[in-house]
Amino acid sequence: MLIGHVKYLNVKVLTLLVGMCLIAGALFFLVRFADADLASASQPRPDAQAATQERKDDQDRDNDQARKDDRDKRQPDHFVRSRPKNVVWGGFPIDRPPVLTMQSEQTVRIDALSQSGATGAISPADFFAFFGVKPQDVLQDLTDFWKTIPAAGGTRVRYGPHILTGPVYIAGAAPGDTLEIQILDINLRVPYGVNNTSPMGGVLGTVYPGFRTGDTGLNTIPPTGTIPDVRQHLYRATKSRGRDVAVVTDGIEVPLAPFMGVMGVAPQTGVFVQAPANDQNVFGVQSSWPPGPFGGNMDLRDLTAGSTLFLPVFQFGAQFYTGDSHSAQGDGEVSGTAIEHSLSGVFRFILHKGQTLDFPRAETATHYIMMGTDLDLDRAMRKATLEAVKFLVTEKGLTEAKAFSLASIGIDFHAAEVVDTMQLVSARIPKSLFVKRSHDDGSKDR
């Protein structure tokens, strides 16, 4: 009896052991296959892996470029000061000897002078004393420039209103090329700038294309300043909540966003952009007053540090000029001036051989910017629209019909500058419209 009971227990134990082995084996295979599935799931597909690597490569390139830009801001290859010999008064003379000749992809710091206080009958020191600026806070090169103009006994020729530094020649540049100007940095040279208002100034002026007999102006009585009927407002740059601002009145601050109002190249020989209110071409030199295909007085406030301007080249060396520097401006510049402020900018020039533009264009971190100019604001708008459509067709592969549609539903048009009789409209095309896809979305109507 005892022996039979033992045999029964042995069979039971053996059965239990076999069952446990089977369960353990099943669990082993389940875990093994689960690990394999997880490993397979965590392993990127070839297309996803390529996309990840592409993003990493893009980030590495961006980081390398940022380090290079930062280094070039601090130590550009060249430096052009705004000494009297390096500046022109209000025009773009062709074949003026270069103040600097540099290679494509090199960098240069260029000082610019504001015309405020530098082109009148009294010295810059006397002018700025009206606003409480001490003589030692007036730029020496501004005073030196003033000494060269007829009002101070000098003989300098005046082609237009702005003080321009240049020309800078780019070696190898020739008509039909495109000059890329990367704006790496822009700094204030003094802690103050000037804005002008007058009863019929800017868009209210009698020379404005929309002026009609009987149009009224404003009551701007000038308690300060040196120009009759013109109120001159000096704004000091200061820090507020971690940013640079101009204090307009107690409780009103305008953020500073410095940019060069004039950036241009020597224009096409014998072709002038002219408007009734502008300086006449008595010397056969393009005035700096109106913008044109050569760039010039665009007053495009988007051209701050980090942006890029593209200009068509019309003359050998390109012959780049800059000036009319501003620390803050609203679209339109409706009073006729921004905060006119002496600045210093660092630029990198890149020459694109054989690539031709019909008109300037710009690019920021977030937008492509096309432009159109005309005496008539409606026509300027039409031209900016056509430039935007052309860009979308040639650069993004759309049909004209689809590009025109996109221009209406996704692009903003701004009256960028409307006070120099030649009016400029900018088309800001958001880069966010162009989404990278890993596969064809099936769209056929481009």
Look at residue 445 in the predicted model and tell me its pLDDT: 55
Q: Is the pLDDT of residue 420 over 80?
A: yes
Region 32-44: what's the mean pLDDT? 50
The confidence score (pLDDT) of residue 274 equals: 84
Contact 30, 417 (CB under 8 A): no
The residue type of 384 is A
Could you tell me how many residues make up the chain?
A: 446
pLDDT tens-digit map of 46-59: 677 776 777 777 78
Q: Which residue has the higher pLDDT, 9 or 438?
A: 438
Structure tokens at 249: 């009145």
The distance from CA 31 to its chain's CA centroid, rounded to whole angstroms, is 59
User: How does the average pLDDT of the chain come out, rounded?
Assistant: 89
> Residue 340 corresponds to which tokens in the numbers above?
């006119």
pTM for the full predicted model: 0.86
DSSP 432: G
Q: Identify the weakest region by mean pLDDT among 41-50, 231-240, 249-258, 319-328.
A: 41-50
Show Cβ contacts of residue 177 under 8 Å, excluding neighbours closer than 6 positions.
312, 313, 318, 351, 352, 353, 354, 355, 356
Residue 299's nearest CA partner among 243, 257, 266, 344 is 257
Decide if pLDDT at 439 tops 50.
no
CA distance linking residue 435 with residue 416, whole number of Å:
27
Count of alpha carbons within 13 angstroms of residue 323, beta-carbon side: 29
| H or E stretch covering 80 | strand 78-80
Does residue 183 have a pLDDT over 90?
A: yes
Q: Is the pLDDT of residue 252 over 90?
A: yes
Residue 441: pLDDT band (50, 70, 90) is very low
In tens, the pLDDT along 146-167 reads 999 999 999 999 999 999 999 9
> Distance (Å, rounded) from C-alpha 310 to C-alpha 263?
10
Alpha-helical regions (H) of 139-200: 140-146
Confidence class for position 38, pLDDT limits 50, 70, 90: very low
> Is the distance from CB of 145 to CB of 87 less than 8 angstroms?
yes
Residue pLDDT, tens place only, 287-345: 999 999 999 999 999 999 999 999 999 999 999 999 999 999 999 999 999 999 999 99
Distance CA 40, CA 34 (A): 10
pLDDT score of 67 more than 80: yes
Q: Comparing C-alpha atoms, which of 155, 141, 151, 152 is closest to residue 86?
A: 141
**Cis bond leading into 175, ω under 30°?**
no
pLDDT digits (tens, 9 = 90+) for 98-120: 999 999 999 999 999 999 999 99
pLDDT recorded at residue 55: 75
The pLDDT tens digits of the residues spanning 126-141 come to 999 999 999 999 999 9
Helix (H) or strand (E) holding 400: helix 400-410
Residue 34: the pLDDT is: 47
